[in-house]
Structure 1
Amino acid sequence: MPIFKPKVFDSLEVGQQSIPFSDPDIINFLSPGTPSKYVSASEALQNSDVYSIVMQLSGDLATIKLKADKTRSQGILDKPSVTSNTHSFWQSMYAQLLIGGEAFAYRWRNLNGIDLRWEYLRPSQVSPFLLEDGSGLIYNVSFDEPQIGVIQAIPQSDIIHIRLMSKNGGMTGMSPLSALANEMNIKNSSDKLTLAALAQSIISPGVLKVNKGGLLDAKQKSARSKQFMQQVNNSNNGPIVIDDLEDYTPLEIKSNVAALLNQVNWTSTQIAKVYGVPDSYLNGSGDQQSSLEMTSKFYVTALNRYMRSILSELNDKLSANISADIRPAVDPLGDSFATTLSGLAKDGTIGSNQATWVLQQVGYFPNDMPEAKKNPVQQLVIGNQSKGGDNNAEESND
């Protein structure tokens, strides 16, 4: 922490959004004067497609195994928090990254600079500032613990700050939700239109017509309607019995309203496009020409794209060489990996013993698995048996 208070720029000049995402009056500091271009996280997560893609991506990213070449770095990666388990901590970090474009964690370290634990920070708790000479960033952090309160001018080496795409040279991240402002507005308008169309098109389940010149007043008609619906509800899905004086005609949804219901989910494709994953992962129709293997490759590419941003920050702050094993996230059972090794063994690229060893290292086979035993192959010789010695004699004479 610096001895003298440095002269810094305001956090707005570096594009940081330091107010809570749940604030209903949140505005977009990156585009002043156009507040409608920002989508708050609380509003976006009410959309099932946004929630689904954030839940899936953050969960898969948290499943990826982070490996460091230093024991101390590996230890803090395996157990970063004391208030939650490892998977929950990393999923919270990655979910915030996908929603807000950046995620924060404070590094609690001892006097020797060794990480003891990391504390997850909400964006509303953090305000970054740019030093006057542009040599780095410092952070003001408001902790939830009353005895800690606000700590000012925290050096950037003490803050884990993961960013996605940036508009200011990588100092802060840009929320992917900002690209969904128009889609979310159209989605809300489409929902209102659909509800209005349904309310106007399906007023009653059907029409009960009284024939033979029946004259009923309003009260009698209402009473007969209630009696008929009571009969329907008490029939246990059985047939409805009416006499010759009545005709019942059920109403159907109009074709234009049915078409409207089928078109309100078009935003799924837009949301999948923003997050870079195939729309089939959001239960969309997807590309009917693409295979399952191709779709899986697109998803792996998307995971790797996000993981590059994560590894870059971790490598910089921990001063270690950290790699990511994506296989547990995309191939949890290991069947695809085993199939690939089997193909390499059949082609002669690797030996069968090497393939078995690799599968044991990843836990697909147990280490104490006995060696394979080959069944003996019985050879049968089928031929014509000659009788007597005449033929043998002739063959010997020839």
Structure 2
Amino acid sequence: MTIPSTNMSSFIISNGQILPNHLVSAEYALKNSDVFAVINLLSSDVASSTISATPPFENVLKSPSPLISGYNFWQSVTASLLLSGNAYVTVQRDSSNIPTRLELVPPSDVNVILADDANSLTYTVNYQDERGTINYPASNMLHFRLLSTGSNQTDSLIGISPLQSLVQSVNMQDFASQLTLSTLKNAINPSIRIKVAEGALSAEEKEATREAFEKANTGANAGRPLVEDQLYSFDSLQINSDVAKFLSTMDFGKTAVAEAFGVPSNYLNGAGDEQSSLDMVKSLYRNTLRRYTMPLEGELTAKLGVPVDFDESSAVDADNGTLISQIQKLLSGTTPAISPLQAQQMLQKRGVL
């Protein structure tokens, strides 16, 4: 059974092939500033995590590719995971079966094949270069997933992106932005209306009236008192109050994006919870990061056969202030929870000392 490499809520048939119908594509989603902000935030912080594993496996995790840095590699992997719910990474091994190189493959280039007895998976990668098509056993394909629902045989094997829940919100936010631009353009240009009390004006007379008004109120005359006669009057055009009120409520998109990815709204420059302490927000965000490092740890541990850990503490606590504060609390009191030597080791592990 050939399974689409991304799990979408609907499919299209093209030239006899079943292809996922991307309701919110990655290219479109990243044009939304709020979606871009949360993808960039999470992928950057996951990539900033300290990766540890048993040697020599730790070497390939810290330097997975000769083409880009380890940070950029894991940032790209996490971005693919967030945008499509799946990230595919091929594993190259040496004669001793030790991984020597990892390569991220676009989900659109991957076919997931389930054996007839449903006991094994094979991944077919259609490279867009001279390598052509290559089949990989599951042991040499790192398949990172988000939220495999398990509602049927295929859904248990393919992940779902948080973007699935943002289809309506992103579309409404896009329409709101278009409405805002259209309303502002129509309100500002023109911004002044001149009324003539009597008579119907020809096109030439209208132009002459317009030029006379502009000459009297721009340039050296800008800011000077305005003089009106009985034939003319003017007023300024404004945005309809109902439209303005509607547009002022369109921040719901920011909240929806934050909710879908589990990020505190404060991190997307929203209003957030004004009463929350900085430590509480950091704790909530660290829990969010843990949801995205666990799929990486679980898959790497299963395929490499050794424990792999992504320590996201350095990403959340960049200045080490939280760590130092926690160590001080553990050292305080008549019976400290840790010894000074243990505290020194904790600080050395983080790189503070």
Q: Pick the TM interval, shorter chain.
A: 0.7 to 0.9
Q: How does 1:99-178 map to 2 (within 5 A)?
A: 99-146=83-130, 148-152=131-135, 154-168=136-150, 170-178=156-164
Find the partner of 2:324 among 314, 333, 338: 338
Q: Does the CA-based 8 Å contact 2:187-2:237 persist in structure 1?
A: no
Task: Check if 1:363 corresponds to 2:351.
Answer: yes
| 2: CA distance, partners of 1:223 / 1:36 | 57
Aligned counterparts of 1:121 and 1:229: Cα–Cα separation in 2 = 61
For 2:6, which of 17, 39, 60 is the aligned residue?
17
From the superposition, tell whether residues 351 and 116 of structure 1 become closer, same or farther in structure 2 (CA, over 3 Å). closer
- Secondary structure of the 1:191 match is helix
Q: Could you give the per-residue CA deviations for residues 2-54 of structure 1, whole angstroms, max 9, x where no partner exists?
A: xxxxxxx2225xxx339xxxxxxx98339xx9x98822222211211111111
The correspondence of residues 77-96 of structure 1 with structure 2, limited to 5 A, is: 77-96=61-80
Could you tell me which residue of structure 2 aligns to residue 368 of structure 1? none
| 3-state SS of paired residue (1:332) | coil
| Cα distance change on mapping 1:229 and 1:276 into 2, 3 Å | farther
CA distance in 1, matches of 2:101, 2:21: 39
Q: Report the Cα offset of residue 356 of structure 1.
A: 4.5
Matches within 5 A, 1:243-262: 243=227, 245=229, 249-262=235-248
Q: Indicate which of 237, 258, 277 corresponds to 1:291.
A: 277
Matches within 5 A, 1:29-40: 29=11, 38-40=23-25
Gaps of 5+ in 1: 1-8, 19-25, 366-398
Higher strand share: 2
Identity of aligned residues (%): 32
Q: Tell which structure's C-alpha radius of gyration is larger.
A: 1
**2:63 and 2:69 in contact (8 A); partners too:** yes
Tell me which moved more, 254-263 or 79-88. Answer: 254-263
Q: Once the 2 structures are TM-superposed, how far is the Cα of residue 242 of structure 1 from its aligned partner?
A: 4.0
**Which deviates further from its counterpart, 289-298 or 320-329?**
289-298
When residues 44 and 113 of structure 1 are mapped into structure 2, their CA distance, relative to the original with a 3 A threshold, is: same
Q: Distance in 1 between matches of 2:220 and 2:301?
A: 68
Tell me the residue number matched to 2:168: 182
Instruction: Decide whether aligned partners of structure 1 residues 92 and 36 sit closer, same or farther in structure 2, where only a CA change above 3 A counts.
Output: closer
Aligned mates of 2:216, 2:63 — CA distance in 1: 63
Match of 1:304, SS? helix
Take 1:84 and 1:315, find their aligned partners in 2: how far apart are those partners? 23
The partner residue of 1:315 within 301, 316, 320 is: 301
Q: Are 1:65 and 2:65 counterparts?
A: no
Alpha-carbon contact 1:49-1:271 (below 8 Å) kept: yes
Query: Could you report, residue by residue, the CA deviation over 1:363-393 in whole angstroms, capped at 9, with x for unpaired residues?
Result: 223xxxxxxxxxxxxxxxxxxxxxxxxxxxx
Alignment pair present for 1:42 and 2:27: yes
TM-score using structure 2 length:
0.84
Aligned-residue CA RMSD in angstroms? 3.1
Superposition TM-score, scaled by structure 1 size: 0.75
Equivalent-residue separation in structure 1 for 2:39 and 2:215 (angstroms): 45
1:135 partner letter: N
Deviation at 1:308, TM superposition (A): 1.0
Are the equivalent residues in 1 in contact too, given 2:217–2:224 (CA < 8 A)?
Answer: yes
Q: 1:209-358, aligned counterparts within 5 Å?
A: 218-226=203-211, 228-229=213-214, 234=219, 239-240=223-224, 242-243=226-227, 245=229, 249-348=235-334, 349=336, 350-351=338-339, 354-358=342-346
In the alignment, is the contact (CA less than 8 A) between 2:263 and 2:285 conserved in 1? yes
**Structure 1 residues 72 and 240 mapped into 2: Cα distance closer, same or farther (>3 Å)?**
farther
Q: What is the DSSP-based 3-state SS (H/G/I as helix, E as strand, rest coil) of the residue aligned with 1:166?
A: coil
Q: Secondary structure at the match of 1:347?
A: coil
Gaps of 5+ in 2: 13-17
Instruction: Report the secondary structure of 2:143's partner residue.
Output: strand
How has the CA–CA distance of structure 1 residues 227 and 59 changed in structure 2, closer, same or farther, with 3 Å as cutoff?
A: farther
Higher mean C-alpha deviation, range 189-198 or range 282-291: 189-198
Distance 1:255 1:140, change over 3 A: same
Q: Report SS of the residue matched to 2:160.
A: coil
- The reply on whether 1:28 has 2:22 as its aligned counterpart is no
